[in-house]
Amino acid sequence: MKLIIEHLSKRFEKKEVLRDIDFTFESGKIYGLLGRNGAGKTTLFNCLNRDIQTDAGSFYLQEDGTRREVKAQDVGYVLSTPAVPEFLTGREFLKFFLDINEKSIQNPKTIDAYFDEISIEPEDRDKLLKDYSHGMKNKMQMLINIIAQPNLLLLDEPLTSLDVVVAEEMKQLLRSLKKGRITIFSTHIMDLALDLCDEIVLLNHGILEVVDQANLDSREFKDKILAVLREEGHE
């Protein structure tokens, strides 16, 4: 499966954020999306999730030579600022989510098994989500997006607020889930991108480009990424 983006453009008033983007993402890979503040990473995700309209261009999934439109159920989108229903407990939220997605979830596990997977302690599972820490809310959001096994998993700086142990567990989880889906991961933490991702993609001057990692050790590779990103002055 491939996600093919053709001539995608988006501007906000005078600011041209995405400029005629042509890019192909392939399943089985984790893509690290790097770009400076304001480069347009969230805008790209919002377009792919159809939260905002594009000005021009299109994107679609291609499987066995057949193209089809990206549907809502194809996409899991983990926001950098977690949005969870604060009036529910963790368990109620998870149960609700499992119930409404019953038909699409393959090999469902028990609610406690899911909590175990993201290391939410038993004593926290029946607390209201409003009393969860930022990192715990983030984990819940990541979990419900992973459970539904989307074809396209968009992660907008999701590991930044997690403690080192959980961030490591989440990395393992994402690695174990990458087969058969396209994972695009935006981050400002270059080491995380290098550690987790199969490809590094830069969003620079409104276009996407892959950074070729061939024959470069990680220091040289980092320098190369920085050099490309530095070209763009603050606007």
* Residues of the shown chain interacting with ligand ATP in the complex, contacts defined by CB under 6 A: 12, 15, 17, 35, 37-43
Nearer to ligand ATP, 81 or 133 (CB): 81
As measured in angstroms, the least distance from the Cβ of 17 to ligand ATP is: 5
CB-based contact 170:159 (threshold 8 Å): yes
Structural tokens at position 173 = 């989880």
Q: How far is the CB of 168 from ligand ATP (least distance, A)?
A: 23
Minimum CB separation of residue 166 from ligand ATP in Å reads 22
Residue closer to ligand ATP, measured from CB, 45 or 221 = 45
Nearer to ligand ATP (CB atom), residue 55 or residue 92: 55
CB of 102 to ligand ATP, least distance (A): 34
Task: HSE, CB side, 13 Å, CA atoms: give it for residue 149.
Answer: 13
Nearer to ligand ATP among residue 48 and residue 147 (C-beta): 48
Of the candidates 97, 51, 73, 77, the one whose C-alpha atom is nearest the C-alpha of residue 145 is 77
37/66 with CB nearer ligand ATP: 37
Counted residue by residue, the chain has a size of: 235
Q: For residues 17 and 120, which CB has a smaller minimum distance to ligand ATP in the complex?
A: 17
**Token pair listed for 128:** 């209201």
Structural element, H or E, at residue 93: helix 90-100
The dihedral built from the CA positions of residue 63, 77, 109 and 135, taken in this order, carries a sign that is positive
Instruction: Judge whether 157 and 186 are in contact, CB under 8 Å.
Output: yes
Minimum CB separation from ligand ATP for residue 156, in Å?
Answer: 7
Q: Which long-range contacts (CB under 8 A, 24 or more apart) does 99-108 make?
A: 101/147, 101/148, 104/73, 104/148, 104/149, 105/147, 105/148, 105/149, 106/149, 108/147
Q: How far is the CB of 38 from ligand ATP (least distance, A)?
A: 4
Residue 216 sits at φ, ψ, to 5 deg, of -120, 135
